[in-house]
Amino acid sequence: MGKDVIIACDFAGKAECMSFLDKFTGVKPFVKIGMELFYAEGPQIVRDIKARGHKIFLDLKLHDIPNTVKKSMAVLSRLDVDMCNLHAGGTVAMMEAAIEGLTRPDGTRPILIAVTQLTSTSEERMRSDLLIEKPMEEVVMHYALNAKRAGLDGVVCSPLEAAAVHSVCGKEFYTVTPGIRFADGDKGDQSRVTTPEKAKEIGSDYIVVGRPITAAADPVKAYNRCVKEFVG
């Protein structure tokens, strides 16, 4: 695995999602299923998309006591997803329990990555609401190192942080990065954005791309452009 474009399938329901995926006749892109689609359709949506031959990143961001996360991860592992995630804020003990739950009897498991601090959390809010006094970058790198120590495979981060994460956690530690826009595209509600080409240059391992593909006039063409710019 590594160096791939993941399409964020942020759709409200199955019909919309499947008619989008129907457009891809040749290739089977890696797709991300988030909370909205999963909570609307239940686990069957994962089985249905998997049955069509797509790799799946199930973006449910688990955060609970270690035992609950361990048991929930075992369920997700049996759903045969390829990648899933949790909040590093749940502590190293929670992340270790997650790895345990995720590991199948044959020793295989999906890739597990951590959310450090959500990009919607500002340094000011982190200080006032969470009582975390350190600078954002230090907190993000500390959480990334905790994830590595717990045995996780990488983190979700801004492409602009990918180089720093690699320098702290090693080149083989995955950086999965949203916030991608084409140079000539619309930024939408994202503020710190980067092109697929630039994300490649900084060292992202996976880019997560939603609207630049899902809202494009020709989604297959937009996906192919992303792959060409990012993977080469």
**Minimum gap (Å) between residue 154 Cβ and ligand C5P:** 14
Looking at the Cβ atoms of 21 and 208, the one nearer to ligand C5P is: 208
Q: Which stretch binds ligand C5P (CB under 6 A): 104-112, 141-149, 206-214, 219-227?
A: 206-214
Neighbours of 164 (CB within 10 A): 18
**Would you call 55 a catalytic residue per the annotation?**
no
Burial environment of residue 203 by CB neighbours within 10 A (0 to 12, 13 to 18, 19 or more): middle
The Cα–Cα gap between 69 and 209 comes to: 27
| The residue to which tokens 């000539």 are assigned | 184
Residue selected from 211, 223, 226, 230 as contacting ligand C5P according to rule CB under 6 A: 211
Q: Does 156 engage in binding with ligand C5P (CB under 6 A)?
A: yes
The single residue of 3, 61, 198, 228 carrying the catalytic annotation is 61
For the bound state, the minimum distance from the C-beta of residue 61 to ligand C5P, rounded and expressed in Å, comes to: 9
Burial group, residue 121, by CB count within 10 angstroms (0-12, 13-18, 19+): middle
Which residues from 65-124 bind ligand C5P, rule CB under 6 A? 118-119
For residues 153 and 111, the answer to whether their CB atoms sit within 8 Å is: yes
Instruction: Give the binding site for ligand C5P (CB under 6 A).
Output: 8, 10, 34, 118-119, 156, 178-180, 188, 190, 208-212
Q: List active site positions.
A: 61
